[in-house]
Amino acid sequence: MNVLIGVSGSIAIYKTCELIRLFIKRGDNVKVVMTPSSEKFITPLTFESLTRNKVLTSNSESWAGGENHIDYAKWADIFIIAPATANTLNKAYRGIADNLLLQTYLATTAPTLFAPAANTNMYLHPATQEAIQNLNCIEANSGLLACGDEGIGKMAEPEEIFLRALREVNKEDFWKNKKVVVTAGGSIEKIDDVRYISNFSSGKMGEALAKAFYIKGADVTLISSKEHKLSKEIKQIKAQSAKDYLDTIISENPDYLIMAAAIVDYKPEYTSGKLKKEQIGEKMVLQLNQNIDILKTLKDKKFKKIGFKAERDEQNALKYAKNTLINKNLDAICLNLLTKNDFGSDENEIIFITKDKEIKFSQDTKENIAFKVADAVKNL
């Protein structure tokens, strides 16, 4: 993907370096166009070192080759203006093109994403708000600003801008207004108020799936026992017990449920407070009862249900997965052999199983596997 990044004069420009790194790591080709005021904060050499491409400035623009705003505008698959100052936002909205960045904006037909960065009063000024509401902007964050004020105006974090940019390019009409709930992490069942039973699930696969469905254009909610750094545009709900997960899924009422969370099969009888060693004695014996089976409880719900099954028994794993698919009335199940990728791994290998076919997604990063799962779910 050809990513053109425009930078205007804001202290938030330091975040743009990390944003560029995210695209470079993904294998994208990145070019940068700068306003004269942005050069007061950072030199073109910094961006050229990161991108290995010539940075377009008023001093470097040339019509002898392709180093000009028209050719850069045509080259881009997406144009991201980050940081976008209040000045840049207001001029862009009103079609003023008095610098190279704004000239490039008017010349491109690629989708353009603005990441505002401004003092709170400048951000909330009616003129700026009108521009923000009419341009394709990612909302700024709130907090302590560089000027010392507290409030909204901090440029969105690089990961947020990165995910939103990928969504702009990759969103599909099929997923528009479709609600996808993804569960992640391992459920937590209390023994008392300071101890619990859980498992080794890292939540990485669920996080990757939430990103993939968001990038595809779905309205995504991630329910997890873990902490995840994601875009504010992905709704996150913290859950602990199986009951928490179940109640939240029902209240969200999705079109698709991707059940990647590892739910504890048996839960202890809960005791309030803290059990003392003097009470327990030399051995602690727990009475465990069978936990809620979330997918079985939801088997008559009309939304699409995709389960995950982790197995170590390679010989019988496929049979176990198919039995779960039928017994819980699932639309599909993803079989994960833990003998190849244990909990916490950054890679995975999955067999995507439906009632009439099996599709193997060979060893790959969890991010890439998640996109393959999303495409397979689309065809259910």
151 and 179 inside one domain: no
- Which pLDDT belongs to residue 323? 93
- 3-class SS of residue 181: strand
The domain containing residue 362 runs over which residues?
173-378
> How far separated are the first and last CA of the chain, in Å rounded?
29
Percent pLDDT > 70 in the chain is 99
The mean pLDDT of the chain is 93
Identified catalytic residue from 17, 137, 147, 334: 147
User: Over the stretch 85-111, which tens digit does the pLDDT of each residue have?
Assistant: 999 999 999 999 999 999 999 999 999
**Average pLDDT of span 16-44:** 95
Per-residue pLDDT, averaged over 170-184, amounts to 97
- 17 counts as catalytic: no
Same domain? 196 vs 144: no
pLDDT value at residue 165: 97
CA Rg value for the chain:
25
* 372 and 226 within one domain: yes
CA–CA dist 225, 256 (Å, integer):
20
Q: Say yes or no: 190 and 276 in one domain.
A: yes
Asked whether residue 178 carries a pLDDT value surpassing 90, the answer given is yes
Q: Which of 33-47, 117-131, 278-292 has the lowest mean pLDDT?
A: 278-292
Are residues 251 and 157 part of one domain?
no
pLDDT: is 34 or 285 the higher one? Answer: 34
* pLDDT at position 343 over 80: no
Percentage of residues of the chain with pLDDT beyond 90: 79
Instruction: Tell me, yes or no, whether 96 and 226 share the same domain.
Output: no
Least confident of 32-46, 247-261, 276-290: 276-290
Tell me the CA distances in angstroms from 289 to 275, 284, 285, 320, one per residue in order.
19, 16, 13, 22
When pLDDT is averaged across residues 26-44 and rounded to a whole number, the result is: 95
Question: Predicted confidence band at 344 (pLDDT cuts at 50, 70, 90)?
Answer: confident
Task: Place 295 in a pLDDT band, splitting at 50, 70 and 90.
Answer: very high
Task: Report the pLDDT averaged over residues 228-232.
Answer: 90
Task: Tell me how far apart the alpha carbons of residues 279 and 266 are, in angstroms, rounded to a whole number.
Answer: 23
- In the numeric block, the tokens 């030199």 are attached to 43
Average pLDDT over residues 341-366: 89
Count of domains forming the chain: 2
**Tokens of residue 145, six digits:** 């600003």
Q: Same structural domain for residues 325 and 367?
A: yes
pLDDT interval class at 146 (50, 70, 90): confident
Give the model's pLDDT for residue 183.
Answer: 97
Which of 148, 167, 186 marks a domain boundary?
A: 167
> Does residue 157 share a domain with residue 282?
no
| 82 and 31 in a common domain | yes
Whether residue 169 is predicted with pLDDT greater than 80 in this model: the reply is yes
Structure tokens given for 156: 């969105």
Instruction: Assess whether 374 and 269 both reside in one domain.
Output: yes
Asked if residue 235 and residue 114 are part of one domain, the reply reads no
Q: Which of 146, 167, 188 is the last residue of a domain?
A: 167
Overall average pLDDT of the 7-29 stretch: 95
Give kind and range of the element (H or E) at residue 294. Answer: helix 294-297
> Do residues 236 and 118 share a domain?
no
